[in-house]
Amino acid sequence: MATKKKKKIAIIGGDGIGPSVIAEAKLLLELYQERAGLPIDLWELDLGADRYLRDGTTFPNQIQIAIQRECSAVLLGALGDPRVPNLEHARDILFGMRFGYDLYANVRPVRALSDRLVPLKGRTAKDIDFVVFRENTEGIYVGMGGQFKRGTPDEVAINEDVNTRKGVERIIRAAFDYARANGRTRVTMADKSNAMRHAHELWLRVFHEVRAQYPEIQSNHVYVDALCLYVIQDPGQFQVIVTNNLFGDIVTDLGAALQGGLGMAASANVHASDPARVALFEPVHGSAPPLAGKDIANPFAAMLTAGLLLAHLGWPEEERRIERWVSQALDQGMCTVDVGGTLGTRAAGAWVREQIAAELGPP
């Protein structure tokens, strides 16, 4: 029997609580190597604030190229450290992958795994199940702009919102393609075209053109401020949401509040039209430096992110298995304090892995 070619996964622990939660996700991937025989190869990289402070390294060109050529995916912990006030290392690593690999689709599943984590009165976990497609390489986050007369009473600061026809169309199309492939029947596009009549008129026009090519999928347009209201009033009406970089950043954090906080939120950054290209997976919480080394950070976002990664590589049943056991951990209180448990980071991660290991059986 021919040996399956291994899929290489680069692992970057990051800063603050990043290394501790990514360690739990790495142990989960190693479990799948050993018990399920998944053909994956883990490549741990020494990058982050500690490395930057040690020798000035951020994201070397040779590492960037090697990841692009050799890896199927990257698992990245949160970046950010007060010892690096300008966050040079974080920008180089994160933007070096998002922009450098053209990972234009940030995909954020907003799915509650326990009724008790849903903060809305009268709502249960089954009401919280939608996916946000956030444009990831354009918009106001490209950093175009500048400051004039800095530090004076006449200072002017400008950031430019960059939107291209290609960029807008491909993220909207990615949302519709996802809906079609995953049995979702409704796509919502959010913009602010009533106020940003040039940049967001492009979004509205392209949305109407693309939606016509998916007649079996219901679709609607709302302004982003109204979207935030509707998500709280009736989250069950949403299945797939697509929006720009800035609004996607805001809406997905709102979504995280519906699923139990940032410690439960996973994300993927992909080139949606070329799934063979290397993809970036990261829990969406910050590095939380004050919590580092205290064994109290929630590892579930990182473990759920590992599930997203496995699904992307061709094992969607393992993503569902991980979600199921994280849900059981929440229901049984085998979790960290932020989601109602009493366990530390390592113990919560170990409990989920033990259940999965028992279910997988011996290697």
Exactly one of 92, 191, 249, 338 is catalytic; name it. Answer: 249
126 an active-site residue?
no
Q: Find the catalytic residue in 32, 101, 104, 141.
A: 141
Domains parsed from the chain with CATH numbers: 1-116+259-363 (3.40.718.10), 129-257 (3.40.718.10)
Q: Nearest CA to 205 among 165, 167, 156? A: 165
Whole-model pTM above 0.85? yes
Q: Which structure tokens are listed for 287?
A: 């590095």
Summarised one tens digit per residue, pLDDT across range 246-260 is: 999 999 999 999 999
Closest by Cα among 239, 300, 236, 310 to 268 = 310
Q: Residue 20: is it exposed, middle or buried by C-beta count within 10 angstroms (0-12/13-18/19+)?
A: buried
Please provide the size of the chain in residues.
363
* Burial letters 135-170, b for 16+ CB under 10 A, else e: bbbbbbbbeeeeeeeeeeeeeeeeeebbbeeebbbb
Give 289-324 pLDDT, tens digit per residue. 999 999 999 999 999 999 999 999 999 999 999 999
Alpha helices for 61-196 (secondary structure H): 61-70, 88-98, 165-181
Catalytic residue among 6, 46, 225, 274: 225
Instruction: Assess whether 225 carries a catalytic annotation.
Output: yes
pLDDT in tens, 222-232: 999 999 999 99
- DSSP character string of 176-213: HHHHHHTT--EEEEEE-TTT-TTHHHHHHHHHHHHHTT
pLDDT, residue 62, reads 97
**Is the confidence at residue 45, as pLDDT, over 90?**
yes
Q: Of 52, 92, 191, 192, which one is the catalytic site residue?
A: 192
Residues near 180 by beta carbon (within 8 Å), at least 6 away in sequence: 214, 216, 217
Active-site hit among 50, 115, 253, 331: 253
DSSP-derived 3-state class of residue 361: coil
192 counts as catalytic? yes
253 in active site: yes
Tell me what pLDDT residue 212 has: 98
Per-residue pLDDT tens over the stretch 258-295:
999 999 999 999 999 998 999 999 999 999 999 999 99
Q: Is the pLDDT of residue 350 over 90?
A: yes
Those residues whose C-beta lies under 8 Å from the C-beta of residue 85, and which sit 6 or more positions away, are none
pLDDT band per the 50, 70, 90 thresholds, residue 362: confident
What is the rounded average pLDDT for all residues in the chain?
A: 96
141 included as an active-site residue: yes
Place 2 in a pLDDT band, splitting at 50, 70 and 90: very low
Instruction: Give yes or no for residue 3 having a pLDDT over 60.
Output: no
Share of the chain above pLDDT 70, in %: 99
What is the spatial distance between Cα 95 and Cα 103, in angstroms, rounded to a whole number?
A: 10
Name the percent of the chain lying above pLDDT 90: 96
Tell me what percent of the chain is helix, strand and coil, each rounded to the nearest 5: 45, 20, 35
**φ, ψ for residue 133, nearest 5 deg:** -105, 110
* pLDDT surpasses 60 at 1: no
Q: What is the pLDDT of residue 5?
A: 84
For residues 266 and 280, is the Cβ–Cβ distance under 8 A? no
Distance CA(198)–CA(94), nearest Å, equals 29
Predicted confidence (pLDDT) per residue in 82-118, tens digit: 999 899 999 999 999 999 999 999 999 999 999 999 9
DSSP bridge partners of 270: 105
The predicted pLDDT at position 16 comes to: 97
